[in-house]
């Protein structure tokens, strides 16, 4: 690096390097220099040790700023450094403070592109709904008091679950900002999460856990209506929907896990199904009971694509709500898809099946249970418990395997 007094005439006379860049250090102001690149750029810089590390600050490009302006800017930065201020971190903080909630959300989506589509849909539903007036607010302008007030208003107009979810989404975006945006020293530019106020004040609303199940006394009329729905000529979706709903009840699978089951993840010779994409990210292999095998054999007769529960419109049975509503009305039993899973678990527990086996069947994580971590429950060991659960439903619903394979004009 050459050393000389940097003046306007000096900068004007500088020739471009053949490659790379060249620095010319000022002989009067230590750390002040001009950088010239092969592309024709001339920029003023300041080099100084900050927190024991040599840092380079770009002051501006010539001729957008003059030598005198650059020198004054360098003196200002040197004054800040002398008083313990990191001007680079200060500049980064000033830039970050202009970042809006919506801008952080866009970065969130880009960085966390591996999340399920429905996660992004849910986030944007709240950001374009109850949090719409905050979308273009700077992240630093959303305060703890604002969060407390908004949460309180949502509790008055919506359910506790809705209000809490809105704030959890906001908190997730702040946590992302805290981890993602850092200054040159590795310190977060957004260290504060205003949603933490709800925890500090113990203001999170209690969310009553749903307890709905299909009771044993309801199973006979429920299954009778299911069979009638299966061959209802009014809607082709009912034919698929009846098998799909019964399949969920007998496996405990979540709604989407069952709907997206593909034939290449079904092994009828082995008597298993495989769910590669589950809620907790852990693949699941389940043994099949006799009724489940009958359902799958029956569905093969109507195979139109690679999905077990297929649809001519959406490839897989993506919109089962119509079938659910029909069955609720015809059977007189009000239930949701998750109630089927809850019923499966309740029946399994009533049969004194071990908690370890139940957790494996429904793919629940074991948490901090150290003992469970040593137990290897493969699908063969789960076959007997799965059949016992099916046998319960066969008895209480009056299911005959022959019913599943009944002829249909569909």
Q: What per-residue confidence (pLDDT) applies to 28? A: 87
What kind and span of H or E run contains 23? strand 21-26
> Which of 166, 146, 143, 170 is CA-nearest to residue 154?
166
**pLDDT per residue of the chain (410 residues) written in tens, 0 to 9:** 567 889 999 999 888 898 889 999 998 898 899 999 998 899 999 988 887 788 888 889 999 999 999 999 889 888 888 888 777 777 766 777 788 999 999 999 999 988 888 889 999 999 999 999 999 999 989 999 999 999 999 999 998 999 999 999 999 999 999 998 887 667 788 889 999 999 999 999 998 767 799 999 999 999 999 999 987 756 767 889 999 999 999 999 999 999 999 999 999 999 999 999 888 778 899 999 999 999 999 999 999 999 999 988 889 998 899 899 999 999 999 999 999 999 999 999 999 999 889 999 998 866 555 444 444 456 788 999 999 999 999 999 999 988 787 654 44
Q: Regarding the domain with residue range 2-85, which homologous superfamily does it belong to in the CATH classification?
A: Integrase, DNA-binding domain (3.30.160.390)
Q: What per-residue confidence (pLDDT) applies to 2? A: 62
Whether residue 190 is preceded by a cis peptide bond, meaning omega within 30 degrees of 0, is no
CA 358 vs. chain centroid, Å, equals: 26
Q: What per-residue confidence (pLDDT) applies to 368? A: 54
The fold adopted by the segment(s) 101-200 is DNA polymerase; domain 1 (1.10.150)
Q: Regarding the domain with residue range 216-404, which homologous superfamily does it belong to in the CATH classification?
A: Intergrase catalytic core (1.10.443.10)
Calpha distance 405→293 (Å, rounded): 10
Are 100 and 139 in contact by the 8 Å Cβ rule? The answer is yes
Predicted TM-score of the model (pTM): 0.61
Residues of the chain with CATH 3.30.160.390: 2-85
Residues of the chain with CATH 1.10.150: 101-200
Q: What per-residue confidence (pLDDT) applies to 369? A: 54
Q: What per-residue confidence (pLDDT) applies to 374? A: 42
> Which of 27, 22, 31, 39 is CA-nearest to residue 57?
31
Residues of the chain with CATH 1.10.443.10: 216-404
Q: What per-residue confidence (pLDDT) applies to 187? A: 78
Calpha distance 142→121 (Å, rounded): 23
């Amino acid at each position: 690096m050459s050393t000389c007094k940097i003046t306007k005439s000096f900068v004007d006379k500088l020739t471009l390097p053949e490659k790379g860049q060249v620095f010319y250090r000022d002989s009067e102001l230590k750390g002040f220099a001009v950088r010239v690149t092969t592309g024709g750029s001339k920029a003023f810089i300041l080099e100084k040790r900050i927190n024991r590390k040599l840092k380079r600050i770009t002051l501006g490009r010539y001729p957008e700023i003059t030598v005198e302006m650059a020198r004054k800017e360098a003196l200002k930065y040197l004054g800040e450094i002398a008083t313990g201020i990191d001007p680079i971190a200060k500049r980064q903080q000033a830039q970050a403070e202009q970042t809006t909630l919506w801008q952080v959300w866009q970065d969130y989506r880009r960085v966390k592109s591996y999340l399920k589509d429905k996660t992004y849909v849910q986030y944007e539903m709240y950001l374009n709904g109850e949090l719409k007036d905050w979308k273009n607010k700077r992240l630093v302008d959303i305060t703890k008091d604002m969060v407390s007030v908004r949460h309180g208003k949502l509790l008055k107009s919506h359910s506790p679950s809705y209000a809490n979810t809105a704030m959890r989404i906001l908190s997730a975006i702040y946590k992302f900002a805290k981890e993602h945006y850092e200054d040159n020293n590795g310190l977060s530019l957004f260290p504060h999460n205003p949603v933490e106020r709800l925890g500090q004040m113990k203001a999170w609303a209690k969310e009553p856990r749903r307890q709905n199940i299909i009771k044993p006394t309801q199973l006979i009329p429920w299954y009778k209506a299911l069979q009638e729905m299966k061959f209802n000529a009014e809607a082709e979706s009912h034919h698929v929907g009846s098998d799909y709903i019964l399949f969920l009840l007998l496996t405990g699978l979540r709604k989407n896990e069952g709907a997206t089951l593909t034939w290449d993840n079904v092994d009828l010779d082995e008597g298993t199904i495989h769910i590669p994409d589950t809620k907790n990210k852990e693949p699941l292999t389940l043994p099949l009971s006799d009724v489940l095998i009958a359902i799958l054999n029956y569905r093969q007769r109507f195979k139109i694509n690679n999905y077990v529960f297929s649809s001519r419109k959406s490839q897989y049975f993506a919109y089962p709500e119509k079938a659910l509503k029909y069955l609720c009305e015809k059977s007189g039993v009000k239930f949701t898809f998750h109630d089927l899973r809850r019923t499966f678990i309740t029946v399994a527990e009533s049969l004194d099946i071990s908690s370890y086996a139940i957790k494996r069947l429904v793919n629940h994580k074991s948490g901090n249970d150290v003992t469970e971590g040593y137990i290897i429950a493969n699908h063969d060991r789960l076959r007997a418990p799965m059949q016992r659960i099916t046998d319960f439903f066969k008895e209480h619903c009056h299911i005959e395997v022959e019913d599943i394979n009944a002829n249909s004009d569909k």
